[in-house]
Structure 1
Amino acid sequence: MNRSLYTLLLHLALPVICLRLLWRAWRAPAYARRVGERFALGLPPLRRGGIWVHAVSLGESIAAAPLIRELLQRYPHLPITVTSMTPTGSERIQALFGDRIQHCYLPYDLPWACARFFRRVQPRLALIMETELWPNHIHQCARQGVPVVLANARLSARSARGYARFAGLTAPMLAELSLIAAQTEAEAERFRQLGARPGCVAVTGSIKFDLQVDAALQQRASQLRGEWGAQARPVWIAASTHAGEDEIILAAHRQLQTRFPEALLILVPRHPERFAAVFELCLREGFATARRSCQEAVSTQTGVLLGDTLGELLFLYALADLAFVGGSLVENGGHNLLEPAALGKPLLSGPHLFNFLEIANQLQAAGDLLQVRDAGELLGALQQLFAEPERAAQMAAGGLGVLRANQGALGRLLDGLERLLPHAPA
């Protein structure tokens, strides 16, 4: 498949794309807002000639935050335009940066929408976070001589096999990138094999290791646990869960309460459209459940706190003693393990971590990651860690050591950007 065929198929798929958007809007009303932006219609006023950063969804928005802060500091005279594709990513970016940046949804990868978006933004540099590759947007930048950087680039062996099946499309697209800042050498080699220019591929590490946690966050969490009367209460979090995981987690929690009757679970579904369904599931399973979005009080009778808010995940991690990171009991590939590690939490996950394999291996080698396959194994790990606080503390220390040993990727990435943006005022 080449880019022309891809574009034709994308146009033919427009009715399906629109129906899917309607379906998502039915499940999560936020998708019904700002629909025109997805076709480069009704875009907000945008200053031209700056840096464009694309962070597709919530995870990439979180990862991009330290980079955006550095760009604002290093290039104060250039407008920073940040795009996303999901309401959760959009809300996180706006909550973090407000009017310090320009923001809109990225239009679909249709040539006419790409051209209209490019005319409005006219960036001097384009930064795409991780693996969100759109052939027509990248080609539009390349045609206009705008360097395109794939920042914090990751590419699992599974994804690489998928890209290889469409070499006629992906090889020219990767060849148009000016810099691929890969997280690991294995991923860098996969990009080279798929058609990226070898001289444009560099191993910079993951900027997720450069996460800095505000000390005030821990203080706020400690204060809230005090208000709950839960300083000595066993509290664990299951975060970024997907369909099929919540039942397993609740089953483990029910058994955990037979040994630790006061145990509290903070359950945080990954997608907002699942908040209501997971709340109903908790009630059906017989748990006294409080909803964070309603600021409902957590009492000694509360068994589950549903984290049904946006932009609070770090704070919810800080409230817990142990952290399970979801998207890993099902074959989703896992989510960011480094946020709870940076907060000094012992980590648990399922076995499906192919999106974060290198990070998971390092954490496991340092002793700060226990992988479980089902409710029974999850229960065993929770019981052990709550019964052995010394081991939990050792795990947490191992995770913090991994973070410290891998920091510096953000600086290496910024050095690469300066070579592509030499005349920008700093």
Structure 2
Amino acid sequence: MVKPLYKWKIKQRAQNVEAYQQECLERFGPFQSAKNKQAIWFHCVSVGETNAAQPLIEHYLKLGQPILVTNTTKTGQARSKALFLKAPYEALFQAVYLPADQKSLIADFYQKYQPILLILVETELWPNLIDQADKFEVPCILVNARLSAKSAQGYSKVPSLTRPMLQNFDALLAQDVATQQRFIELGLEASKSEVVGSIKFDISAPEVFIEKAQQLKHDWNLARRKIITLASTHAPEEEKLLNGLKPYLEQHSDCLVIVVPRHPERFDEVFKVAQSLNLNTQRRSLNQSIQLDTQVYLADSMGEMWLWYALSQASFVGGSLNEPGGGHNILEPMVLNVPTVIGPNYFNFQAIVDEFLQANAVAIGQSEHDVVQLLVRCVEDQDFATQLSQHAIEVLNQNKGSLQKHIAVIDRFLSKL
């Protein structure tokens, strides 16, 4: 029963028959031969985890080490390929979907690909994936690990699954002490864990997007526009915030809102939301430029988040105003000195947000009204905006160094192979 339903979901989101057939092959087999055996295997569920693993993956590709990346989502795989399936890494890199977590499929995948090391990113716990790593004697490491109190409570309800999974880890590198303690309480051996901070603090904005943003400012006459980006949004965040910002947009023709929905299957839906509010909207997917009378620009493209942040004077990071929410990465806009606002539901990034909140480096709105007021304040009150962004940079600088700690642990395992 599971496989037909799974295949139906894949078919619903597939762009064409070929894409559907290819994804089914990667999910259910028969698996194709590996491009490179003896690769380091990174499993990154979606875009956020892929972005987090990017500096680690780049480090080993530069050393000439073959890399295999599996993703669970379509957007995650698109991001992986956009980052690495190009010169100079193309020959060393392969990205496929993670097979369904069935013992026979996972075992067959290990046999076909023969990885030397399995690296899971953040909170990716799959019973058969981890069990078969032990069976095939492939060291298994959870990196940049995070675990909210809510997720820990869920895992605690199935100890017969959770405890064996955690006991099969060879190492767990936690972002914070609270995460480490939750994993230990669920069954992880304390000696296998270290608190090394978050790799996400070691990011820097790609120069290519900064340069592209400068070009667009010139080409589209954006130098004097007040630009607010609503990033990684979920329903109903776009409707709530655009509705709240509409009076300001109508009174200030120099203001522009860029909307970047989290999931591409919602692009058309979000366009209809903007239209229903009678906001003059252009779309990236149609190669439309921002005009003088554009009020909303729908960034319905993949892999350009850095570009939209680089154009902004204020940002809202989504998945934090919806229910149940959980939040997304707040660090990317901050790296670009963009004052950042979020909603109250950020439990997936609790420790990171709390640190910025303590330093007055992020603004939190408890409702859509609060978020709108804070975004408007960011583009109207230069002192407030500068204070937020400067404090954020200070926190970012204080937390750098996690990447090298991760590399040191991974190298320790590689040296034993």
Q: 3-state DSSP class of the match of 1:34?
A: helix
The answer to whether residue 42 in structure 2 is matched with residue 67 in structure 1 is no
State whether residues 106 and 129 of structure 2, in contact with CA within 8 Å, keep that contact through their aligned partners in structure 1. yes
Aligned counterpart for 2:305 among listed residues 313, 322, 327: 313
- Residue 40 of structure 1 deviates from its aligned partner by 3.1
- Residue 216 of structure 1 deviates from its aligned partner by 4.0
Describe the superposition over 1:160-208 as per-residue Cα deviations: whole angstroms up to 9, x where unpaired.
0000000010101100000110100100000000001111111111000
Structure 2 residue aligned with 1:35: 24
Q: 3-state DSSP class of the match of 2:222?
A: coil
- 1:184-223 correspondence runs (5 A): 184-223=176-215
- Residue 30 of structure 1 deviates from its aligned partner by 5.8
- 1:135-150 correspondence runs (5 A): 135-150=127-142
Amino acid at match of 2:311: L
Structure 2 residue aligned with 1:97: 84
Structure 2-normalised TM-score?
Answer: 0.94
Separation (CA, whole Å) in 2 of partners of 1:123 and 1:45:
10
Q: Hey, which bits of structure 1, 4+ residues long, moved more than 3 A? A: 22-33
State whether residues 242 and 269 of structure 1, in contact with CA within 8 Å, keep that contact through their aligned partners in structure 2. yes
Name the stretch that deviates more: 184-193 or 372-381: 372-381
Aligned counterpart for 2:364 among listed residues 368, 371, 377: 371
Separation (CA, whole Å) in 2 of partners of 1:27 and 1:361:
43
Separation (CA, whole Å) in 2 of partners of 1:372 and 1:417:
39
Structure 1 residue aligned with 2:45: 56
Alignment root-mean-square deviation, CA: 1.8
Structure 2 residue aligned with 1:239: 231
Q: 3-state DSSP class of the match of 2:260?
A: strand
- Residue 334 of structure 1 deviates from its aligned partner by 0.3
Q: 1:37 to 1:343 in 2, by over 3 A?
A: same
Aligned counterpart for 1:399 among listed residues 373, 389, 392: 392
Structure 2 residue aligned with 1:346: 339
Q: 3-state DSSP class of the match of 2:144?
A: strand
Describe the superposition over 1:248-302 as per-residue Cα deviations: whole angstroms up to 9, x where unpaired.
1111220222442321000011000000111111111101111011210211111
Describe the superposition over 1:280-333 as per-residue Cα deviations: whole angstroms up to 9, x where unpaired.
111111011110112102111110000100000111111111010000001220
Describe the superposition over 1:29-66 as per-residue Cα deviations: whole angstroms up to 9, x where unpaired.
96664221001324354321221111111111111111
Aligned counterpart for 1:294 among listed residues 264, 286, 290: 286
Uncovered stretches (5+) of structure 1, i.e. residues with no partner: 1-11
Percent identity, please: 37
Name the stretch that deviates more: 277-286 or 181-190: 277-286
Structure 1-normalised TM-score?
Answer: 0.92
The answer to whether residue 254 in structure 2 is matched with residue 262 in structure 1 is yes
State whether residues 252 and 378 of structure 1, in contact with CA within 8 Å, keep that contact through their aligned partners in structure 2. no
Q: 3-state DSSP class of the match of 2:344?
A: coil
State whether residues 292 and 307 of structure 1, in contact with CA within 8 Å, keep that contact through their aligned partners in structure 2. yes
Amino acid at match of 1:284: S
Uncovered stretches (5+) of structure 2, i.e. residues with no partner: none
Separation (CA, whole Å) in 2 of partners of 1:222 and 1:368:
26
- Residue 155 of structure 1 deviates from its aligned partner by 0.3
Count of residues in correspondence between the two structures:
411
